[in-house]
Structure 1
Amino acid sequence: MDILTLVGLVAGIAIVIIAMLANASVLTFLNLPGLAIVLGGTFAVTLVRFRLPTVTTSVKLAMHTAFTDRLDRPNDLIREVSELARVVRKDGILGLESHETENPFLKKAINLCVDGHPPEMVEETLAQDIQQTGERYDVAERVFRGIGDSAPAIGMLGTLVGLVQMLNTLDDPASIGPAMAIALLTTLYGAFIAQLIAIPLADKLQLKAEDERRNQVLIVTSIQNILRGQNPRVITEILSSFVHPGQQPSPEASQEA
């Protein structure tokens, strides 16, 4: 579980709520009509912009990405594929059949190699997998950025509704307060949803997509070199470009691994 994402989300929401309740009660910031305008309006706009299956799939992907999914570190992948290269040089490509890995993309690549497919087909299949994965993340990111754009806009619409109601009932002092509450709180609700939930999740999806694509390209590059019979040490040196310079293993550590 990505505990830092949960901590950041909870901390951000808690700080805002504590500031709101410093000199007021919960009921002061609770306005059901205004909340209905923002939530209902944002959901309606999202359904207009995207299909319902796309929205549900994007929400599931965002929750999985933000709270449960962890990516392999490039250094770990480099060590693993270097070991695969040594196995292939010693036992041939069928020696990979007994290798167990937790990375599904690497597992798929190994299965394609063991099944005896030509290198061109293996590379094409993996490239298609990379493209489809990137498109899924791109769609999910656009859904949450759309929510981040729509929520404040719907909040402003609620503000205009509240102001119109207030101006039409200036002769009735008792109705000014509820109308003003809708006018102000809808903007608050819209900004809250956008800045604390939707946009951070969209950024998280973007970063996860970039990290996963990096790992997938690393695996494809390693499989290409393994199928060419490249030396494991050379493969490690080639793959070191995928690691931040400050995190690259030393030559001695790579040789021991």
Structure 2
Amino acid sequence: MDFASLLGLITGTLFIVMAIVTGSDAEIFLNLPGILLVFGGTFASTLVKFRISSFFLGLKEGFAAAFGERTDDPREIIIQANKLARTARRNGLLGLEDEPIDNPFFAKGIQLCVDGSAPEFIQEVLTKEMIQSIERKQIGEKVFRALGSSAPAFGMIGTLVGLVQMLNNLDDPSKLGPGMAVALLTTFYGSLLAQLVFLPLADKLAMKTDELENNMTLIIDSVMGIYNGMNPQVMDELLETYLPEYQRSGMSMKEEI
């Protein structure tokens, strides 16, 4: 689980609630018409922008990536690639059949090698799967970014609705308060949803998509290096280019044969 996303949402919500309850009665910030307008309008607008399947796929991928999925450490991938390369040079590609590999994408690439597939076929299959995986993650980012852009807009629409209600009842002072509440609270709801939930999650998904692409490209190069019988030390030099500079000097991947 990605505790950073969960911690950020909980901490942000907690501080906002504390600011509200310490300054006034929390009930005045609850307005059902405003909530219905912002939530309903935001999700309806986003549904217009996407197909039904894409919308729900985006929500699923988005929440899974933001809260549930763990991004593999590229250093661990390089260490495992080094180990597999040494095994392949010592026992051949068939010697990799029983090697434990946690990453499903890496395991698929090694299995294609073990099955004797042509290198062009292996690279094509892995590249297509990488592209499709990235596209699925990008749908999640687009859905949450669309939600983030629509929420403040419907907050402003709610403000206009509240002002119309207020101005239409100037002769009845008892109705001015509810109209002003809708006018102000909808802007609050829309801005809060966009800035605390939707846009941060969209940015998190964009970051995880970049990490996924980096790791999958790293794995493809690892699989092809293993298939071609590349020297493990030479392959280390190639794969270390996927790491930031400050991590390369700390890599210790040489193992005793």
Question: What interval of TM-score do these two structures reach, taking the shorter chain for normalisation?
Answer: over 0.9
Partners of 1:212 and 1:238 lie apart in 2 by: 19
Q: CA deviation at 1:14?
A: 1.1
Q: CA deviation at 1:39?
A: 0.5
Counterpart position of 1:254:
253
TM-score with structure 2 length normalisation?
0.96
Partners of 2:208 and 2:122 lie apart in 1 by: 24
Counterpart position of 2:12:
12
Partners of 2:71 and 2:47 lie apart in 1 by: 31
Counterpart position of 2:187:
187
Provide closer, same or farther for how the CA distance between residues 195 and 87 of structure 1 changes in structure 2, counting only shifts above 3 A. Answer: same
Q: How does 1:88-167 map onto structure 2 within 5 Å?
A: 88-167=88-167
1:66-107 Cα deviation digits (max 9, x unpaired):
112111111110000111101110111111110111101101
Kindly provide the amino acid, as one letter, of the partner of residue 18 in structure 2: I
2:23 is paired with a residue whose SS is coil
1:21 is paired with a residue whose SS is helix
CA contact (8 A) 2:82 2:253 kept: no
Q: Which stretch of structure 1 is more off in the superposition, 109-118 or 143-152?
A: 109-118
Q: How does 1:34-113 map onto structure 2 within 5 Å?
A: 34-113=34-113
1:90 is paired with a residue whose SS is helix
CA contact (8 A) 2:60 2:140 kept: no
How well do the aligned residues superpose, as a CA RMSD in angstroms? 1.2
Partners of 2:249 and 2:133 lie apart in 1 by: 29
The reply on whether 1:241 has 2:241 as its aligned counterpart is yes
Counterpart position of 1:225:
225
**Structure 1 alignment gaps of length 5 or more:** none
Counterpart position of 1:172:
172
Q: CA deviation at 1:21?
A: 1.8
Q: Which stretch of structure 1 is more off in the superposition, 145-154 or 219-228?
A: 219-228
Partners of 2:10 and 2:199 lie apart in 1 by: 15
Partners of 1:228 and 1:108 lie apart in 2 by: 17
Counterpart position of 1:3:
3
CA contact (8 A) 2:38 2:189 kept: yes
Q: CA deviation at 1:56?
A: 1.6
1:142 is paired with a residue whose SS is helix
Counterpart position of 2:196:
196
Q: CA deviation at 1:250?
A: 4.6
Kindly provide the amino acid, as one letter, of the partner of residue 166 in structure 2: M
Partners of 1:166 and 1:5 lie apart in 2 by: 39
**Structure 2 alignment gaps of length 5 or more:** none
Q: Which stretch of structure 1 is more off in the superposition, 189-198 or 47-56?
A: 47-56
Partners of 2:110 and 2:96 lie apart in 1 by: 7
Q: Which stretch of structure 1 is more off in the superposition, 33-42 or 106-115?
A: 106-115
Q: CA deviation at 1:255?
A: 2.1
Q: Which stretch of structure 1 is more off in the superposition, 33-42 or 2-11?
A: 2-11
Q: CA deviation at 1:52?
A: 2.0
- Matched positions, count: 256
The reply on whether 1:22 has 2:18 as its aligned counterpart is no
Partners of 2:249 and 2:101 lie apart in 1 by: 21
Partners of 2:86 and 2:145 lie apart in 1 by: 45
Q: CA deviation at 1:4?
A: 1.9
Partners of 1:215 and 1:23 lie apart in 2 by: 48
